[in-house]
Amino acid sequence: MSLAEIVAAALTAFLASAAVVPYLMDAAGVGLMPGAVLAASATIAGAVAWRLAASPGSVASDLVPWAGVVLLMLAWLLRLAWPSLLLPGGGSDLAHHLLLVDYIERSGHLVHDRALDGAMGEMAHYTPGAHLLAVMAGAWTGTDGFRAFYSVVSGAMALAAGFVFLIVRRLRLPTPFALAAVMLLMLPLDYFVGAFTHDAFLAQAVCVCFSVAAWWALVAWERHPTPEIAAVFGLFTAAVFLAWPVWVGPPLLVFFGVLLRRHVSIGWRVRHLMLGVAPLAAVAVIHTSGRLGWAAIVRTSGAVLQPTLSTIGWAFPLLAAIGLLAVTRNRRARVTVAFLLASALQAFTLGLMSMANGAETPYMAYKMGYLAIYPMAALGALALHGIVVRAAAPVQTVAGWVMATFMVLAIVRPAINVPRQISTVTRDLYDAGRSMRESVGPACADYLVGSADTAYWLHLAVLGNPRSSAHTAEIDRFDPRQVMGQWVASQGRGYAVADLDLLPAEIRPNVQILKQFGRAAIVHRPGATCP
């Protein structure tokens, strides 16, 4: 176990605990206590580091390149949303995730009232791991979940990239090839970062960290099956379930496969099985109690990227295929191949279920592609290593660094120069919406803003209007020009959250600014009343 692996496992154990611990506290009826969660998470992370450091064969290596990967990745991801550090992109998913964050913060607990189905839709039953992390991070930093969510996602994605580096190093590939695996992730950029910067798959993005960490734990456990690593795997898979339960299948399948292949005593099997599965079983039983009907969501349709050459390119899958063929010469890659095949098997199964249900798009099957790119990147690095060794065996390390330098210019540079997504949410509008909710009421607002996504977010996640209301149905068909026209004609609801940069000159003389928050404000048309 390298020092880099120990640090990575401890940091991820902290994040996983910050999702699992408050969930269990809420289930026990003691509420969410950020201070207690912080103390418990730090204790668990410290215990993980101590136990892994005490394991046989621990060495102080790879820390510098691993830290470089994580910090540079984190800096790039934060830059994508700098200086606001708010979630970029838009769409209904963004509003729905922030709706659950808002509910948890305001109530101090998770959703328990089944009467909230109409107000929150599927978010009343959604696994809240990522949202709990955002709420905890907001409480610890003195802000809130809305402001902390993007930083949480960025940190999780940076740790996932670091684990890809560590897994490739466990395949006994030199450092430049482990770095190459991380850079290969930037080829399918829409899958790597577009999932949360454009499509707002926020829970899935957080889950990437726990899923890749569970894969790393499997690679380490297959070589050195200690109880400590089995327990770490159990914590990570519990966090996978709480963040995005659809992805819990591949690590579990591989874990059972490796466990059955070992020639060990029944007692050994039972001990490792309990350590690796009990945390997951506990949170799964708690969450599915009374919610089994919502499992049918895996058969539904939805808007998601389709895995085609136009979205992935040809180089990335080609290198992964070459690496798959090269696995026969690297037995350490067996778990990685099994992880990829388990992901493909689950995607195939979900696809069949969707088609049987008549779904237009096998939504959940396509979602498995967002996980598959990580083992594919590791196999791509294996392919590059084989190519370089054949071409320059006497100087393969030098050739590896030359290759890595070329990849920085050919892959990393274009990726970091991709135009940033424009966010549909702002702090000023958030503050104005919160003030409107407290002073006027959530049902009295129009939205004089630039897009339907912004209005939908304000309406649901900031002002807290129910998703099943007639006004929400109007917001679903929101047209900024139509609403602006109503206010020009002195019509509308009488109060509005307004983006002052977009407020037409025909409206300004006829409204009163009640409160201003930077470039946003609560405006009122004199004489109008709340409907």
Count of H helices and E strands in the chain?
Answer: 25, 4
Q: In whole angstroms, give the CA distance from residue 67 to residue 286.
A: 36
Binning the chain into helix, strand and coil, the percentages to the nearest 5 are: 70, 5, 25
User: Over the range 380-395, which residues count as b (16 or more CB within 10 Å of their CB) and which as e?
Assistant: bbbbbbbebeeeeeee
Task: Name residue 512's beta-bridge partners.
Answer: 524
| Distance from C-alpha of 497 to C-alpha of 480, rounded to nearest angstrom | 12
Alpha-carbon distance 66 to 5, whole Å?
Answer: 9
Q: Which residues pair with 498 in a beta bridge?
A: 448, 521
Task: Count CB neighbours of 291 within 10 A.
Answer: 14
Query: 449-505: per-residue pLDDT in tens?
Result: 988 899 999 999 999 988 877 666 666 567 788 888 888 888 878 899 999 999 988
Phi then psi dihedrals of residue 41, to 5 deg? -65, -40
- Number of CB atoms found within 10 A of residue 359's CB: 18
Q: Are 32 and 109 in contact (CB under 8 A)?
A: yes
pTM of the model: 0.94
What does each of the 531 residues of the chain score in pLDDT, given as a tens digit? 899 999 999 999 999 999 999 999 999 999 899 999 999 999 999 999 999 998 766 566 799 999 999 999 999 999 999 999 999 988 889 999 999 999 999 999 999 888 888 888 889 899 999 999 999 999 999 999 999 999 999 999 999 999 999 999 999 999 999 999 999 999 999 999 999 998 889 999 999 999 999 999 999 999 899 999 999 999 999 999 999 999 999 999 999 999 988 777 888 899 999 999 999 999 999 998 876 656 656 656 667 788 888 888 899 999 999 999 888 777 789 999 999 999 999 999 988 888 877 777 788 889 999 999 999 999 999 999 988 876 666 667 788 889 999 999 999 999 988 888 888 999 999 999 999 999 888 888 889 998 889 999 999 999 998 887 766 666 656 778 888 888 888 887 889 999 999 998 888 888 999 999 999 999 998 887 765
Per-residue tokens: 401: 């660094």
Q: What is the bridge-based pairing of β-strands 495-499 and 445-448? A: parallel
Question: Can you give the pLDDT at residue 297?
Answer: 63
CA terminus-to-terminus distance, the chain: 65
* Mutual angle of helices 145-170 and 129-140, in 10-degree steps: 110
- Per the CB < 8 A criterion, the answer to whether 110 and 449 are in contact is no
177: nearest Cα among 399, 466, 487: 399
Q: Where are the domains of the chain?
A: 3-416, 427-524
Q: Cα–Cα distances in Å, from 130 out to 154, 211, 314, 450?
A: 12, 13, 33, 28
Decide: 157 and 65 in contact? Cβ < 8 Å: no
Contact criterion met (CB below 8 Å) for 244 and 203: yes
